[in-house]
Structure formats: structure tokens, C-alpha cells
Amino acid sequence: MNYFHILLILSAITTSCTLSSTSKSSNYKEDLSAYRLDYDDLEAKDSMVIIENETGKDSLQYTFMAEDEITEELNTFLDSISSLRKQGGYVTGYSIQVFTGRDREEATSMKNRVYRVLPDSRPKLIFDSPNFEVKVGQYYTKMEAHKDFVALKSSFPTTIIIPERIKIQHESD
């Protein structure tokens, strides 16, 4: 008899838990119609704007403004990016470091040896107190640097690819 009572109580608990959880979720309703955009109102806000560009010529720019947009914050952010580019911004890229050490003659010798391995390269001899460094190239990705890295690695065993800040080159530069 005790076994039957325990089984009856467990089945009653399981059934009541299942029913209560489904009944709560079926009663949930939310009205999101207040947040939906009305496309008829948006069409009236489309506009054409004439902007004078850097060359002095007028150009048409189509703008679409929707209510509740964060356009002022977004425009401020985009303007800051544009001004950084005009100032000659930098990006994170890669360079190949062939040598680092304290001996200037050895660094100069390594720089001259790089010309023999990669004749079209422009190795740089940099003094970063107290060390001299010989670096080759400015690459935007590691994949770009890999071909030159493999060529240099056979002649210079300590060659590594290192991250470096690279100045953004503009078409007018």
C-alpha cells in the first residue's frame, strides 16, 4: 500500500508541475505595434541634398532619415573616421624583422644581405635604444608577408613577422 501511495503522490506532483508551466507561457502576450515603422510617414522624409565636395564641384547625396534614428551620434562617429583618414591615419599591419641587436655594423651588414635575397625590398635600419633593428616591408595581412618571410627565413634563421602600425596610403599620396 505504501508503494501505491508514493507512486500516486509522484504522479500528482509531475502532472501539476507540467500543467502549471505550460499554462503560464500560453497567457503571455506583448503588443509591439507601437515600435513598428509606418512606411508612409518615412517616404515623406526622404530628401535630396546638394553637397560641395573637396574638388569644389557639387554632388547629389541621397539621405534617408527615419524617426528615432541615432543619426547625430552616428554622423559624429563617421566624421571622426573621415577626419582620421584625412590626417593620415594608421592601421595595424605587419613587418618582417630580420635582425635585432646592439651592434650597428652587424645591423648594417644584415640590411645589405637582405638586398641580395630580396632585391626589390626596402629594408629599414631602425635604432630603438639600445637596439638596432632591420625590418622589411609593410604588409596589411600576414598572408601578404608570408612569401617574403619564407624567402628571408632561409638566409636569416631569426626572422619573424611582427605587428606594426602602417600609415594608410591615399590615392592622392
- Choice between 161 and 27, residue whose per-residue pLDDT is larger: 161
Residue 165 phi/psi, 5-degree rounding, is -80, 130
pTM of the model as a whole: 0.48
Domains and CATH numbers, the chain: 90-167 (3.30.70.1070)
Return the pLDDT at 63. Answer: 52
For 11-55, how does the pLDDT look when each residue is reduced to its tens digit (9 = 90+)? 777 776 554 444 455 677 888 777 776 655 545 444 444 455 555
CB 146 within 8 A of CB 159: no
Residue 93 phi/psi, 5-degree rounding, is -135, -155
pLDDT tier at 79 (50, 70, 90 boundaries)?
confident
For 93-137, how does the pLDDT look when each residue is reduced to its tens digit (9 = 90+)? 899 999 999 999 999 999 999 999 998 889 999 998 899 999 999
In this model, does residue 7 exceed pLDDT 80? Answer: no
Return the pLDDT at 62. Answer: 47
DSSP the chain: -HHHHHHHHHHHHHHHHHHHHHHHHHT-----GGGS--HHHHHHT-EEEEEE-TTS-EEEEEE---TT--HHHHHHHHHHHHHHHHTT-EEEEEEEEEEEES-HHHHHHHHHHHHHH-TT---EEEEETTEEEEEEEEESSHHHHHHHHHHHHHH-TT-EEEEEEEEPPPTT-
Query: 121 - beta bridge partners?
Result: none
Return the pLDDT at 46. Answer: 47
- Choice between 86 and 145, residue whose per-residue pLDDT is larger: 145
In this model, does residue 72 exceed pLDDT 60? Answer: yes
